[in-house]
């Protein structure tokens, strides 16, 4: 038997150098919105915010308005082809503001558009402004805001 002589010792391989930890940078992502959406936002943001704040806390109202514009941005190209873009956007805001679930007690809520028109009137908007922001004809808004005569059943009978 031959004895094997041990091979000369090799220096141990040094451990790998520690890698620097990768950290996520806080660089914000910049998204360029279509100019038409930017204009729509500019036109309606204040009104949407006031309406939402009439029903929610300021933080919840901001979240509702942001969610509304986020939903609009996601489908903006599709929505531009719709005739009722403004009405669709208003319905999205009403859904996010949950105003149908928590109507203000001093405003009759039997007609949904009439309810919105009364709230916006209290916020200082004219019927034309309300029509523009809700996407409904101004004549409809004026009708809903007009005082209506008493129903016939409430009238006193005439003396004979």
Least Cα distance to 56 among 45, 65, 43, 46 occurs for 65
pLDDT for 19:
72
Could you tell me if 37 and 72 are in contact, meaning their C-beta atoms sit under 8 angstroms apart? yes
Least Cα distance to 113 among 86, 94, 89 occurs for 94
Could you say which residues of the chain have pLDDT below 50?
A: none
pLDDT for 147:
81
In sign, the C-alpha dihedral spanning 43, 107, 87, 37 is positive
pLDDT for 34:
83
pLDDT for 32:
74
pLDDT for 4:
65
Angstrom distances, CA of residue 103 to CA of 49, 98, 107, 144: 16, 8, 8, 17
């Amino acid at each position: 038997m031959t004895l094997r002589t041990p091979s000369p010792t090799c220096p141990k391989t040094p451990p790998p150098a520690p890698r620097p930890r990768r950290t996520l940078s806080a660089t914000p992502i910049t998204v360029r919105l279509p100019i038409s959406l930017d204009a729509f936002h500019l036109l309606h943001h204040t009104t949407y915010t006031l309406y939402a704040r009439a029903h929610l806390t300021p933080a919840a109202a901001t979240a509702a308005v942001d969610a509304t514009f986020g939903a609009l941005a996601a489908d903006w190209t599709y929505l531009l082809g719709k005739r009722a873009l403004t009405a669709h956007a208003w319905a999205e805001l009403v859904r996010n503001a949950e105003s149908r679930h928590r109507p203000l007690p001093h405003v009759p809520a039997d007609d949904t558009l009439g309810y919105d028109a009364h709230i916006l009137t209290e916020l200082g908007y004219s019927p034309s402004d309300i029509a523009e922001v809700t996407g409904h004809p101004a004549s409809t808004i004026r009708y809903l805001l007009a005082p209506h005569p008493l129903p016939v059943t409430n009238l006193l009978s005439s003396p004979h």
